[in-house]
């Protein structure tokens, strides 16, 4: 059956903005995060403490954090290594995420490491974060398909998921980084993870909407016990010049579906849509979310 309540893990300020070429000023990001919280989102991924040259858009993390310290929501941040963790903890981060890959190609492209090398890099980060009382999410990218390697075997995804849980992650977010998954694949992966007892009840899903499958995939995940769903306000994300990745599942599209199913999220879709329309004006192009377009044309 379906859950009665879903926790939305909003990734707009991080995953949504990280590929934007034009730098969004920190005060605009801060206003975005405040507005998302006011719309009822309780978990808002704020930024990343990565190498500034790797993600220039999020190089202002130190400037942003003090501007959002009054936000009434969980504000996780991405951290790849101890250097990043130290920066995040110094600014009062209470929740972090490490980000592993199910494939060697993406581990190399995203972290300049092998899959094993990345996990070794995360191990002291997870230990130190937990010692500091911070919650730790483990992202796993390329769970379904990879732009260089094609379809990813279920066993490969299960194996890295297990290693993230063994390391001490509180939750695993299964990433369809390039949006190629379809519901049958989602069911098969979740059945396998559930049967193997990996991350029981602590799985989240992270769908990108490249092929328009993100909502169908989400419904399949909800039918398999998942209650935490990642989404990006307005469907932000991806780069108009990148060939294989577009934005995440739009939070408005998700809330529209969940509202219709009678599943609680605590999100006010009107306020959220107004926020995405405001952000789209800043970015200079309309939101790709069908729900944002429909509701804002009313
Ligand atoms: P590297 O080049 O191997 O770094 O990159 P290094 O460890 O060799 O260090 C080189 C220099 O970088 C050193 O400085 C470090 O101090 C500095 P130097 O001594 O030469 O002056 N450095 C840092 N500076 C600031 N903050 C740091 C930091 N770390 C090292 N944290 C590294 C390795 C992991 C740093 C790099 O690859 C990196 O930053 N990658 C981040 C990539 C990223 O953010 N990708 C997007 C997020 S993942 C995603 O979007 C997928 C997801 O949405 C799920 C899905 O859709 O699948 C989560
Ligand atoms: Mg992503």
Question: Mean of the pLDDT values across residues 171-193?
Answer: 97
- Say which ligand is closest to the CA of 49: 1
Phi, psi angles (nearest 5°) of residue 203: -100, 135
Q: How far is the CA of 237 from the centre of ligand 1 (A)?
A: 19
169 in catalytic set: no
Which residue matches tokens 């769970």? 143
Question: Mean of the pLDDT values across residues 22-32?
Answer: 97
pLDDT of residue 242: 42
Q: Are 117 and 153 in contact (CB under 8 A)?
A: no
Q: How far is the CA of 62 from the centre of ligand 2 (A)?
A: 22
Q: What separation in angstroms does the CA of 207 have from each of 61, 235, 249?
A: 25, 11, 6
Helix intervals (H) in 91-207: 104-111, 115-131, 154-167, 183-195
pLDDT of residue 246: 81
Q: How far is the CA of 59 from the centre of ligand 1 (A)?
A: 11
pLDDT of residue 188: 98
Q: How far is the CA of 179 from the centre of ligand 2 (A)?
A: 9
Q: Would you mind telling me the total number of residues written for the chain in this entry? A: 298
Q: Which of 170, 206, 177, 185 is nearest to 101 (CA)?
A: 177
pLDDT of residue 15: 95
Nearest-atom number in ligand 1 for the CA of 51 is 39
Q: What is the pLDDT confidence band of residue 298, given thresholds at 50, 70 and 90?
A: confident
Cα 17 to Cα 24: distance, rounded to the nearest angstrom: 8
pTM above 0.95, yes or no: yes
Question: Mean of the pLDDT values across residues 12-18?
Answer: 96
Question: Mean of the pLDDT values across residues 47-65?
Answer: 97
Q: Whose CA is nearest to atom 17 of ligand 1?
A: 51
94-148 residue pLDDT tens: 999 999 999 999 999 999 999 999 999 999 999 999 999 999 999 999 999 999 9
Higher local confidence (pLDDT), 23 or 242? 23
pLDDT of residue 238: 66
| Tokens coding 109 | 């492209």
- Say which ligand is closest to the CA of 58: 1
221-254 residue pLDDT tens: 999 999 999 999 999 986 444 456 689 999 999 9
Cα 147 to Cα 137: distance, rounded to the nearest angstrom: 24
* Residue of 2, 90, 196, 239 marked active site: 239
Question: Mean of the pLDDT values across residues 54-83?
Answer: 97
79-89 residue pLDDT tens: 999 999 999 99
pLDDT of residue 149: 95
Average pLDDT, the chain: 95
- Say which ligand is closest to the CA of 59: 1
State if residue 111 touches ligand 1 by the CB under 6 angstroms criterion: yes
pLDDT of 266 higher than 60: yes
Nearest-atom number in ligand 1 for the CA of 143 is 57
Residue spans of beta strands (DSSP E) within the chain: 7-10, 43-44, 47-48, 77-78, 95-101, 135-141, 145-146, 150-151, 171-176, 203-207, 228-231
Torsion of CA 204, 208, 214, 218, to 10 degrees: 0
């Amino acid at each position: 059956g379906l859950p009665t309540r879903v926790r939305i893990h909003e990734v707009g300020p991080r995953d949504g903005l990280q590929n934007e070429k034009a730098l969004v000023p920190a005060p605009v990001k801060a206003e975005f995060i405040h507005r998302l919280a006011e719309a009822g989102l309780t978990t808002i991924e704020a930024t990343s403490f990565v190498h500034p040259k790797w993600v220039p858009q999020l190089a202002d993390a130190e400037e942003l954090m003090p501007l959002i310290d009054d936000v009434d929501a969980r504000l996780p941040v991405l951290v790849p290594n101890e250097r990043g963790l130290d920066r995040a903890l110094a600014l009062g981060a209470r929740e972090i995420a490490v980000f592993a890959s199910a494939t060697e190609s993406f581990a190399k492209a995203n972290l300049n490491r092998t899959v094993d090398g990345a996990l070794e890099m995360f191990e002291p980060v997870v230990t130190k974060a937990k010692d500091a009382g911070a919650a730790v999410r483990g992202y796993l990218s390329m769970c379904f398909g990879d732009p260089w390697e094609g379809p990813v075997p279920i066993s490969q995804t299960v194996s890295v998921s297990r290693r993230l849980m063994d390391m001490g992650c509180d939750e695993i977010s299964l990433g369809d980084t390039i949006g190629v998954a379809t519901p049958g694949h989602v069911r098969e992966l979740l059945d396998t993870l559930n049967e193997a007892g990996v991350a029981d009840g602590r799985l989240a899903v992270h769908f990108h909407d490249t092929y328009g499958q993100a909502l169908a995939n989400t419904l399949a995940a909800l039918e398999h016990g998942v209650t935490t769903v990642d989404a990006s306000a307005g469907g932000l994300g991806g780069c108009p010049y990148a060939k294989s990745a577009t934005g995440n599942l739009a939070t408005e599209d998700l809330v529209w579906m969940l509202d219709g199913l009678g599943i609680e999220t605590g999100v006010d879709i009107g306020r959220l849509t107004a926020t995405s329309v405001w952000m789209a004006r800043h970015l200079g192009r309309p939101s790709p979310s069908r729900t944002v377009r429909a509701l804002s044309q009313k």
